Structure 1
Amino acid sequence: MKHLFLLLSLLAGLIRPTAAQIDTTGGQFHQPLYPVPSVTAGVAYGSAPNSGGTTLPLLMDIYQPVGAPAAPRPLIILVHGGAFLGGSRTDYDVQELCRRFARLGYVTASIDYRLESFFTFSGSRAVVNAVHDLRAAVRFFRQDAATANQYNINPLYIFAGGSSAGAITAVHAAYLDKDAELAALNAPGVAPGLEGSSGNPGYSSAIGAGINLCGAIGNLSWLEAGDEPLVSVHGTTDGIVPYGTGPTFTGDVVNGSGAIQPRAAAVGVPNTLRTFRGAGHVPYNGTSAAQLAYMDTTFRTVRDFLRPLLVAAAPLPVRLTSFTAERQDAGVLLRWQTAQEENSAGYAVEVSADGRSFRHLGFVASRAPYSTTPTSYRFVDREAGGPGLRYYRLRQLDLDGKEAFYGPQVLRFGAEAPLAVYPNPVSGPTATALVASTGGGVLELRDALGRLVSRQTLPAAAGPSQRVALPELASRPPGVYHLLLRDAAGAVQQVRLLKQ
């Protein structure tokens, strides 16, 4: 389950000493107990091709507290701003925050990441590449903690954040955690998968909390119950990244901190938002009196949010990176993969004919209740084959009895309907269209008055059907909507759906 806190007693004897509870007594992680930190500049944490195809080294500067106790330290990774076109790890705001938090006792790192060319700029590609690079940096430190331990970090206490474009990167690294969400971004030319290929494979890229300084998320539905805590600061008159919902500097419509906060509260994600009334973009980035005052407030807001997270073990959540269902001669093969598991007993496989009432099919035990490496699972449903729709979901069970649900995945048996939507009525943040194999076409979502909500161009389907996410429903009011499929020959199919 994607819970974020677990009593230390559950971990006793199951994790190595470096994952023990952090000592916050004596002003640790709250007062500047240490002098100017030592800085190791230009540390390579990976490499990846940029949008032009040139492979670039990925570098970071690492700040370590001087004179701190030998116990492993929590880590904060920060990502600079610059509209995904400029900026660097030596920008004032990220450097200053790295220095300040290192003086509290944290290990901190400021990373560079791949930037876009002005002439070939793609906002979706910029975000996905930056997320992949940030995840490689997280894996770098977990790999170091498991091997040379050069930087003395505690792998259970890794936090990531950034400023402006860096905050957008960190927020998506925290909440863009499903293949369908990644596919919805439709980013051109990026490495496949949620983890990417920027370096240090085989280690978890999960973070314990996100730090959002004037950032945004592409879709509020990606923020779900049990997700990582988030601390945000944002100015209400930000003209670069909107405080609420609106276009950002990339031209894409996003949801800023003022829109993220109520969504996080509604789904129960721990969060704090410090609103700077009347302030513009990154008001803390500079050395004027006003900018320094904003920096002081930003620093204290993040400090006071993170410190309570250190007093109990912050285990990694179970994070499902893929869940698929495909037909086989003997039935249906279900496959899923986790990036890490914490306190996990296993997965109950459930099936439904209507997407609402599910029954138990079988159980697959976790290979390891505590794991920070990718793990694959499979289950074969040998009952399948009758006509109609068949919905599959996973009920993930913790050792302490808690549970979380993943899915559903849906398959149609018998004659293929040209167009279907599940679930319908739509009770969650989004829905999926199931489109029978065609030579391509256009899928339109319209409201009850016929006004266009969204339009997607569909490629020719390779299999019997294709699934198309409808994330636009997350921000739409309840009511009746119509989904229209116009195939390459001009024929139109339509299905009516209800959002509750």
Structure 2
Amino acid sequence: MKNIVLPLLLSLVLINCSNNDGTSPNNETNGTPTVKNNETYTVVFEENIKYAEGLSHNSINSSNSSIMPLYLDIYYPNNTMENRPLFMFIHGGGFSGGSKQQEQIIAMANFYASRGWVFASIDYRLKNDIGTVPQKWIDYSSFVPSGDAAQFLAMYPAHRDAKAALRWIMANKDMYKINPEYVTVGGGSAGAVTAITLGVSNLEDYTNEISVTQDPTLSSTHMNQTYEIHTIIDFWGSKAAVDALEVIYNHQRFDNNDPALLIAHGTEDPTVLYSNALDLKAIYETNQVPLAYYPLEGKGHGPWEATVNGKRLEQLAFDFIVEQQSLIVE
């Protein structure tokens, strides 16, 4: 495998971020969901729902391992609607840290759930959990500086887990009254890297490279469940994990059927360079896929409080999702 692709992958590896029930008549279950323009519903919060299991090894792919439960939080409106859109959000932290209960994510969850969405925030295995990785990833990690190899390898189980979380949600969509035709995934930094990959990769990517024999916990991940992502929200992320598919497996995944994408990225970001946003923008424009592009002028990494024309990021994403999914807004 050629070393010329290493700088592209390292653009990700070097990530280090800190990171009264007003209801309206229901649409039919398979119709277009209705959401509210303003905060309307009280929010129901369900914490630490187990969506799957994963192996945690003492060292890379060692036989000495334990089974690690994987959890997500669900926020949904306290209303009688039977037809709700979904927004699944993935926290950042350079695949080394972070939490599904990051302050900014909780605020975003309540913003969307109070307006009619089911909002899921997920945890996943991080670098120190040492999840199972395919041998081809281990082979390629020899091209990564030794201090960054573990972080690079952590990308694989993180993506495997995020896909498992979305499959769990789809398997339980009736419980939460989710319409599977209106699915958004998003994230910040490493979470945006993962969200982009979930949106543009194939269902089997970051899943079928490992067998159930090698990792029996795959049987807990609703392997036969499918999903379709319709909108991606990228806060200061990159396409590095999609690039990994191309570099390691020769799988090029970007095409003109990809979900609509919103990019918000600080022009002075020293962690995930602004050039990553420009690269994604160019691909989407070439493929003529719907794109909203917001360069956050003068901002660095993780500018959650940024505004564009007086609108905060969650409002920009709201407007984009509504437009791309043709949601009914009241």
TM-score w.r.t. length of structure 1: 0.49
Query: Which one of the candidate residues 25, 33, 50 is aligned to 2:56?
Result: 50
Higher relative strand content: 1
5 Å-filtered alignment, 1:67-466, equals 68-117=79-128, 121-145=149-173, 149-177=174-202, 191=210, 197=218, 199-218=221-240, 219=243, 222-244=253-275, 256-284=276-304, 291=305, 297-311=312-326
1:177 to partner: Cα distance = 2.5
Q: Distance in 2 between matches of 1:120 and 1:264?
A: 29
Does the C-alpha gap of structure 1 residues 270 and 34 become closer, same or farther in structure 2, counting only changes over 3 Å?
Answer: same
Name the SS of the counterpart of 2:317 in structure 1: helix
Q: Distance in 2 between matches of 1:129 and 1:272?
A: 29
Q: Distance in 2 between matches of 1:114 and 1:121?
A: 16
The equivalent residue for 2:37 is 30
Does the C-alpha gap of structure 1 residues 20 and 264 become closer, same or farther in structure 2, counting only changes over 3 Å?
Answer: same
Partners of 1:29 and 1:105 within 8 A in 2: yes
The equivalent residue for 1:393 is none
Which amino acid in structure 2 is aligned with residue 140 of structure 1?
W
The equivalent residue for 1:59 is 71
The equivalent residue for 2:140 is none
Name the SS of the counterpart of 1:216 in structure 2: coil
Does the C-alpha gap of structure 1 residues 192 and 262 become closer, same or farther in structure 2, counting only changes over 3 Å?
Answer: farther
1:296 to partner: Cα distance = 5.2
Q: Distance in 2 between matches of 1:261 and 1:60?
A: 30
Does the C-alpha gap of structure 1 residues 171 and 192 become closer, same or farther in structure 2, counting only changes over 3 Å?
Answer: farther
Which amino acid in structure 2 is aligned with residue 305 of structure 1?
F
Structure 1 runs of 4+ aligned residues shifted over 4 Å read 118-121, 292-296
Does the C-alpha gap of structure 1 residues 50 and 239 become closer, same or farther in structure 2, counting only changes over 3 Å?
Answer: farther
Q: Distance in 1 between matches of 2:288 and 2:93?
A: 32
1:95 to partner: Cα distance = 1.4
Does the C-alpha gap of structure 1 residues 259 and 226 become closer, same or farther in structure 2, counting only changes over 3 Å?
Answer: same
- Cα-to-partner distance string for 1:185-214 (whole Å, 9 max, x where unaligned): xxxx97359xx9361121113311111111
Could you list the runs of 5+ residues in structure 1 that have no partner in the other structure? 1-16, 184-188, 245-255, 285-290, 314-500
1:33 to partner: Cα distance = 1.9
1:73 to partner: Cα distance = 0.4
Does the C-alpha gap of structure 1 residues 54 and 121 become closer, same or farther in structure 2, counting only changes over 3 Å?
Answer: farther
Name the SS of the counterpart of 1:90 in structure 2: coil
Q: Distance in 2 between matches of 1:190 and 1:50?
A: 17
**Comparing both chains, which one has the higher relative contact order based on Cα–Cα distances under 8 Å and sequence gaps of 6 or more?**
2
Partners of 1:226 and 1:268 within 8 A in 2: no
Partners of 1:50 and 1:115 within 8 A in 2: no
Q: CA RMSD in A?
A: 2.9
Q: Distance in 2 between matches of 1:101 and 1:65?
A: 9
Partners of 1:135 and 1:205 within 8 A in 2: no
Partners of 1:75 and 1:106 within 8 A in 2: yes
1:268 to partner: Cα distance = 1.0
Partners of 2:181 and 2:228 within 8 A in 1: no
Does the C-alpha gap of structure 1 residues 178 and 34 become closer, same or farther in structure 2, counting only changes over 3 Å?
Answer: closer
Name the SS of the counterpart of 1:222 in structure 2: coil
- Cα-to-partner distance string for 1:146-169 (whole Å, 9 max, x where unaligned): xxx221111221211111111111
Higher relative helix content: 2
Q: Distance in 2 between matches of 1:80 and 1:209?
A: 17
Name the SS of the counterpart of 2:46 in structure 1: strand
Moved more, 235-244 or 46-55: 46-55
Give yes or no for the alignment of 1:18 onto 2:29: yes
Which amino acid in structure 2 is aligned with residue 61 of structure 1?
D
Name the SS of the counterpart of 2:322 in structure 1: helix
- Cα-to-partner distance string for 1:267-299 (whole Å, 9 max, x where unaligned): 011111111011000111xxxxxx375895211
Q: Distance in 1 between matches of 2:108 and 2:188?
A: 10
Could you list the runs of 5+ residues in structure 2 that have no partner in the other structure? 1-27, 59-64, 130-146, 247-251
Q: Distance in 2 between matches of 1:136 and 1:302?
A: 24
- Cα-to-partner distance string for 1:402-458 (whole Å, 9 max, x where unaligned): xxxxxxxxxxxxxxxxxxxxxxxxxxxxxxxxxxxxxxxxxxxxxxxxxxxxxxxxx
Does the C-alpha gap of structure 1 residues 296 and 102 become closer, same or farther in structure 2, counting only changes over 3 Å?
Answer: farther
Partners of 1:232 and 1:257 within 8 A in 2: yes
Does the C-alpha gap of structure 1 residues 208 and 50 become closer, same or farther in structure 2, counting only changes over 3 Å?
Answer: farther
